Structure 1
Amino acid sequence: MARYEVHSEELAGFGESQMSADILFQMGLDSACGRNGFTDLVTAHKWFNIAALKGNKAAVQYRKEISDEMTREEIAEAQRSAREWLSMH
């Protein structure tokens, strides 16, 4: 799993400092829905977590909903990944 993946050419033009909560939320939706080929709840949780920290209220609800389907270990992995991403960006 990559630390940071831009999932479409549309998002590729945004610099890291310009990543809005809405874009991060959309990345979470893409991961949760399998838009990129497979469902990845760990990655979805990560993006929802970061989007929530940046003020996206819907991300809070989606993060809670998918966490009900995840193990403690998966949630911990998603949280570590979010912290790592935030420390790098």
Structure 2
Amino acid sequence: MGNSIKSAQFLMEARQLRAAGGSADECFDLGVAYSCGTGGLSVDLVEAHKWFNLAALRGSGEGQSMRAEIAGEMTAREIAEAQRQARAIIAATQLRAA
């Protein structure tokens, strides 16, 4: 059982790395996974907001809508943390591209 958990964690980390430098759709899909708790994930609105924010920044209208929807269920501190994490990903991907 421990191996399946480690496998799932590895797959999720790989998925996050691809999404961080990838398309709006990949970011949106991660936002959905974290907002609904699918794919073995626990519901995590900070993570969901972060991925919806990145999707919105990459042109996803759905990402923008979902980000606004879950923000209504979050505290100002949680939203600020999600935004901080999104900015960190943007900065890291810009450094890799340079």
Aligned match of 2:29 = 26
Aligned residues: 83
Point out which structure has higher relative CO (alpha carbons under 8 A, 6+ apart). 1
Q: 2:76, 2:68 → 1: CA distance?
A: 13
After superposition, the C-alpha distances for 1:56-82 in whole angstroms (9 at most, x for unaligned) are: 110000000000000000000000000
Aligned match of 2:49 = 45
CA RMSD of aligned residues (A): 2.5
The structure 1 segments of at least 4 consecutive aligned residues displaced by more than 2 Å after TM superposition are: 5-9, 14-17
Asked if residue 76 in structure 1 is aligned to residue 80 in structure 2, the reply is yes
Aligned match of 1:58 = 62
Q: Does the Cα contact within 8 Å between 2:31 and 2:51 map onto a contact in 1?
A: yes
Distance 1:6 1:45, change over 3 A: farther
Larger Rg: 2
Q: 1:86, 1:63 → 2: CA distance?
A: 17
Structure 1 gaps, min length 5: none
Structure 2 gaps, min length 5: 1-9, 94-98
Q: Does the Cα contact within 8 Å between 2:23 and 2:58 map onto a contact in 1?
A: yes
Aligned match of 2:7 = none
Distance 1:6 1:42, change over 3 A: farther
Q: Does the Cα contact within 8 Å between 2:30 and 2:51 map onto a contact in 1?
A: yes
Structure 1 length as normaliser, TM-score? 0.81
Q: Report sequence identity in percent.
A: 43
